[in-house]
Structure formats: structure tokens, C-alpha cells
Amino acid sequence: MKVAVVGATGMVGNVMLQVLREQNFPITELIPVASEKSVGMEMEFGGLKCKVVSLDTAVSMKPDVAIFSAGGDTSLAWAPKFAKVGTVVIDNSSAWRMDPTKKLVVPEINGDVLTKEDLIIANPNCSTIQLVLALAPLHKKYGVKRVVVSTYQSITGTGVKAVQQMENERAGQNGEMAYHYPIDKNCIPQCDVFTDNGYTKEELKLTNETKKILDPAINVTATAVRVPVVGGHSEAVNIEFENDFDLDEVRRLLHEQPGITLKDDPTTNNYPMPKYAEGKDDVFVGRIRRDFSQPNTLNMWIVADNLRKGAATNAVQIAWTLVNKGILSI
């Protein structure tokens, strides 16, 4: 299969290539795609040397699938051009997520909705993916009414520039700033830009994407915070259900949910942390307990590697879903 990775030289693009290699995705030809300044650069994949090409060249090569991690503007401009030549696009940006004509997919939840007509498929936001994967089995059983989520998001979600900023601060060096403020030894209650209603775009993604993937009737309110962490996003989640629940059953449902690993034993201080989620594909859930301040309400803590399940792994899983459904041919 001919596979293009758009944004191959970026942080998510590199992880995308790593996941494709780890999962032995059936690639006969890899097409790494990046900006003009990177064209001609050599990249290694599976022991083979591949030259980076431009977007124009990649479209002319008519790949079977193109996985995009190059920002919303690039996706809006180029995804339709790939689709026009018959390439299936899996897009990691926010460009197509809320388009009513495009599917927003977490394969363990709604991979069954994909058809051969879906030439542009949206990968959800990193913080949304880990949230909805934990909510899905509980919503099916108890009916989620309202979610209050506070996120503690890794600097890797911003990109290389943010990682460099923190490294500079820790080394006592001046350099380019990814954020308005220092990030080392700090928490910044702003992920993405503010909108007119006082919420950031990241917070609205959590709200709107959860509704689209799970149920438009679910009410979600979010606060997204950038923290000086590398390795994954963490979320403190308060869930109000339509119906009462049993804690043992909640743990069983989460344990049985594909893609979830339960780490929930306070007696041994066993709970999810980004340090231990880094490099793993699962979503980790723990600190499960009843909220005694109101009926039918649960607290839990969700952690995942934002570059893997939050981006690259989910995109590759979408591609595998297309293979397994016979939409992409090996």
C-alpha cells in the first residue's frame, strides 16, 4: 500500500512513522511529505531511505492513504486535492472535525461508521480521544448527563517550540517563547487561543467533539491547563449520570473496554501518571470514586500519551479499520 505522511518531519509526524513501523502497517511505498524547505531531505523507514517530497508531488503520486499532521490550513487546502485523486485522507488537525459531512472517529467507539465514501476522515483532538474512550462504556450503561473536565496538558501538545522553551528555561538560557509566560515550574490556564465566550479553542474542542462522537445531549464544560510535563495529558473528570451506578461494575466496564488500562488501587498508590503513559498506546484510568456531593456522580482520572493515542496511534488505527473493512486494499 502506498502511504503518504504529511508533516512527516514534525513531532507528531515522527511518532506517526514510528507507530506505522511498530504495527507493521502494510506499506509498499512510503511518501514522506513536508514543507518546501524540507523537500529532498532523506528519512529512514524500515531500513529504507525515503526522500521528502512536496504536497504537489505527493498528490501526483496518488497514494492509497494520506495521514495529515501539518496544521489546519494545510489540511483545508490539500485534503480535498488528495481526495479528488482517490486518496483516503486521515486528518489530525481540527480542520474537518466539526464538518457535518465528515466522520470524527475513535475506532474503538465508532469505527463501524466508516464507509468507502469517506475520503476525508477526522482524527479527534488529543484530549478528546482519551476522554471519550473512558466515557463510552459508561454512557452506554448509565447515560452520561454532564461532564466537568479539567485537563493538565503536556507541552508536547504545543510542539517542538514548547519543548525547547522549557529546556531553555531549565538551562537558564534565553530563547524563543512558545507561550506568553514561562512554563517551567508553572501552570498556564490557556491551551490554544481564547474565543469570544471566554473559553479557549481547546476547551470548546472537548465540548463539541465529545457531543459529536458520543451524544449531542451530553453537556460538557472544560478547563484546559498547560503544565511543565512531557509524556502525556492528564484529566480530572467529574461525570453526572442519568442513572445510578455500581463502582465495581464501573471498573469492570472500563477494564473490558478495548484501549483502556485500569490503574486503580489506592492501597498501593497505583494510579495513572503521564511519566508512565509515555510511549504507550492505551488510555489509563484510575482514582475512580463516587462524588458524594450529588447523586449519580463519579470522579476519575484519565491519562494518555497525547502524541500516540492522542494523535498518531488513533490515526493508524483508523487506517487499520479501513483495511479490515476492505476499504483499503493491502
Q: List active site positions.
A: 126, 233
Residue 95 amino acid letter? A
DSSP 288-319: EEE-TTSTTEEEEEEEE-TTIIIIIHHHHHHH
Residue with cell 517551567: 184
Question: C-alpha cell of 317?
Answer: 488505527
- The answer to whether 110 and 85 are in contact (CB under 8 A) is no
Give the sheet arrangement for strand 88-91, strand by strand: 29-33, 2-6, 65-68, 88-91, 120-122, 103-104
Q: What share of the chain is helix, strand, coil (3-state, %, to 5)?
A: 35, 25, 40
Can you give the C-alpha Rg of the chain in angstroms?
20
Residue 289 amino acid letter? R
DSSP 30-74: EEEE--GGGTT-EEEETTEEEE-B-HHHHHHT--SEEEE-S-HHH
Residue 193 amino acid letter? V
Q: How far is CA 209 from the centre of its chain?
A: 12
